[in-house]
Amino acid sequence: MASSASPLTAGEDVPVSALSRAQLIDVLTDTVGDLDKLDLSLAADGVEEARRLRSSLIAQIRDHVLPRLADADIPAIVVVGGSTGAGKSTLVNSVLGEEVSDAGVLRPTTRTPVLVVNPEDGEALSDHPIAKVCRTVTSAAVPAGLALVDASDLDSVQESNRVLATRLLEAADLWLFITTAARYGDHTPWTSLEEAAARETPIGVVLNRVPATVMSEVRRDLIERLDTLGLAESPFFVVPDAGPHEGLLPEASVNELRDWLRLLAGRHRAAGLMRRTGRGLWTGLRADLITLADGVDAQDDAATRLETASRKLLDAPGADLRADVERGSCGQGAPTTRWVTLASSGGPLAPLAQGGKLRSGWFGRIRKARAAALATLAADARESIASRLEAALVSVHDDATRTWEDVGAGARSRELLPGVADATAVVDAWAASLAAHVTAPPKGLDPQGAADLVAAAAAGIDGSRAAAERMGLGPATSQARDSLVRTLTDVLDAAVPVGAARALAPDPALAAALRLRAGELAPFTRPGASA
């Protein structure tokens, strides 16, 4: 049973004025390349729509537009699609009068889409992108000039099937939408129908497995729904419920659908009738490119916001570290206790604490004990500084990772944000540089001992600062403290490198390029224009 089954009208072919066909192919090929590289990972206003548009544009251009531009006479692609259990495979088999696609009760039956082509068209479609994702079956029952695709389910439980079904629809010259009395209002297939209608994709509708008791009511309701999408004039077919059965449907159930497909057949006639590269397609592509350009700008704004937020994470930890050095907090606790022990009466550092003469002792034993004590004191100071630095680095790294994850950049954080630096190695390197500040070690101290005393004083160990002043090491201590602040600040700053978040933004030139290419398509959106 058919209603409004008028043949699709052909768009006029007009000369390509703004761009030659070869130039247009180059432009669109470059566009697909740009879209393939476009990263839309950051959370931003409209990002979900931008991601959908990106996938849709790639599929449309790669699978439909470019093949059609390269060869306008390739067979028209008729995609038979719909929801799970709509009977797509059985319908395809019945229309062709032979088993070309597996049909059964197991869902989803169609895991790998089936491309059915006439023997005359096999070579023409062998390199088509759709042939690479379908199992190709050759059948003389398919009218020459048409190719039928038994697609995977739009609402499949397997995401890969859903993605593939959507890709096939983007490649269609005609979508034959198969639904049932029980499933025609399902959200996923109906949403796909809305999107296809908005793109002005030629659509035929088959209401399958309709019980006679509800046929009139369901048919009327579905036509009303189609009218809201502007599809009231689309070819519409009703296939009665055949009840429990195996194999092909009765001839009478599919005759009108078969006759309609034959009406579209003929290599040049089919290509002309079904060509979707008319004004509707170019208008849609142009609008989508402009929308995607806005999406690129939104990604740039999101990257800028993330850059600001990431860098701000350094403010408090950096201020705390600087304050610890300036107040001498790093020397409190265990390092100060160590000084008290070593500088107490009779201790190796007692002369330093009391301002006494630094003796060497027999065979330099006192000098060696003093050097060992200063090395131990400096080690405590380094450990205290490294502990504070490590805590700050871990805190910043964890906060930055969470911040990036919150905006969808968690995967890239592992690439662009360095791991936690080795705080001990950093502080040891700083301490090793202090010998350069001690140009003339005071009498009684060797260069390393003087550097160790400066390290302890710069860390803020009580008593060591006064001792360093008495030994004439005050300027060296001030220089050491300043260099410690710079070292800690630089290492902390490197935990969130400048520009790391900005690197997540797409190339700003891409937005301009997309708008430029949208402008290049403008001539094809004028009434009567097509490529």
Residue 3 has pLDDT above 50, yes or no: no
Does residue 388 have a pLDDT over 80? yes
Query: Quick one: pLDDT band at residue 10, thresholds 50, 70, 90?
Result: very low
CATH classification at residue 265? 3.40.50.300
Residue 531: pLDDT band with limits 50, 70, 90: low
Domain count, the chain: 2
Higher pLDDT, 77 or 20: 77
Considering the domain architecture, whether residues 252 and 124 belong to the same structural domain is answered as: yes
CB 64 within 8 A of CB 166: no
Alpha carbon of residue 15 to chain centroid: 39
- Is 515 a domain residue? no
Is residue 266 included in any domain, yes or no? yes
Please state, rounded to an integer, the average pLDDT across all residues of the chain: 86
Inside any domain, residue 116: yes
Question: What are the C-alpha distances in Å from 436 to residues 82, 130, 315, 431, 440?
Answer: 78, 70, 31, 10, 10
Q: What is residue 308's predicted lDDT score, i.e. its pLDDT? A: 97
Count of Cβ atoms closer than 10 Å to residue 315 Cβ: 9
376 plus 445 within the same structural domain: yes
Residue range 273-282: mean pLDDT, rounded: 57
- Is 214 inside a domain boundary? yes
For residue range 202-213, what is the model confidence (pLDDT) as tens digits? Answer: 899 999 988 888
Within this chain, do residues 233 and 326 fall inside the same structural domain, yes or no? no
pLDDT > 70 fraction of the chain, expressed in percent and rounded: 90
Model confidence at 111, pLDDT cuts 50, 70, 90, reads low
Greater pLDDT, 471 or 71: 471
Q: 373 and 321: one domain? A: yes
* Backbone phi and psi for residue 126, each to the nearest 5 degrees, phi listed first: -60, -30
Does 246 share its domain with 339? no
Q: Tell me: do 377 and 247 sit in the same domain.
A: no
Share of the chain above pLDDT 90, in %: 50
Tell me, yes or no, whether 60 lies in a domain: no
In the predicted model, what is the mean pLDDT of residues 59-65?
A: 89
Residue 266: per-residue pLDDT: 61
Q: Helices 474-494 and 423-432 sit at what angle, rounded to 10 degrees?
A: 150
Pair 268, 320 in one domain: no
Q: Give this prediction's pTM.
A: 0.72
* β-strand partners of 205: 177, 236
Residue pair 510/492 in contact (Cβ under 8 Å)? The answer is no
**Tokens representing residue 118 in the block:** 């006439």
pLDDT at 110: 47
Instruction: Report if residue 360 sits inside a domain.
Output: yes
Question: Given a cut of 60, is residue 51 above it in pLDDT?
Answer: yes
DSSP three-state, residue 114: strand
Residue 48 lies in a domain: no
Q: What was the pLDDT predicted at 5? A: 37
pLDDT band at 104 (very low <50, low <70, confident <90, very high): low
Mean pLDDT is lowest, of 61-65, 378-382, 386-390, for 61-65
pLDDT of residue 402: 96
Residue 171 lies in a domain: yes
| Judgement on whether residues 197 and 319 belong to the same structural domain of the protein | no
Lowest mean pLDDT among 110-124, 126-140, 225-239, 267-281: 267-281
Q: Residues 489, 365: one domain? A: yes
Single-letter residue type at 293:
A
Q: What is the pLDDT of residue 54?
A: 93
Average pLDDT over residues 394-416: 94
Whether 188 shows a pLDDT value over 50: the answer reads: yes
Same domain assignment for residues 268 and 353: no
Q: What is the pLDDT of residue 22?
A: 85
260 and 339 part of one domain: no
- Of 104 and 514, the one with more pLDDT: 514
Pair of tokens at residue 294: 């806005």
Last-in-domain residue among 213, 242, 272: 272
Q: Are residues 258 and 363 in the same domain?
A: no
**How far, in Å, CA of 325 to CA of 318, rounded?**
11
Q: Report which of residues 379 and 68 the model is more confident about.
A: 379
210-224 tens-digit pLDDT = 888 888 898 999 999
Q: b or e along 462-500 (b: 16 or more beta carbons within 10 Å of the residue's beta carbon)?
A: bbbbebbeebebeebbebbbebbbebbbebbeebbeeeb
Check whether 412 has a pLDDT greater than 60: yes
Write out the two tokens for 406: 């919150």
Inter-residue long-range contacts of 344-348, CB under 8 Å, 24+ positions, other chains counted? 347/373, 348/372, 348/373
Q: What is the mean pLDDT of residues 443-465?
A: 93
E strands within 61-108? 76-82
Query: Which of the pair, 71 or 477, is modelled with greater confidence?
Result: 477
- Structural domain for 428, as ranges: 314-495
Cα 403 to Cα 233, 303, 496, distances in angstroms:
52, 12, 12
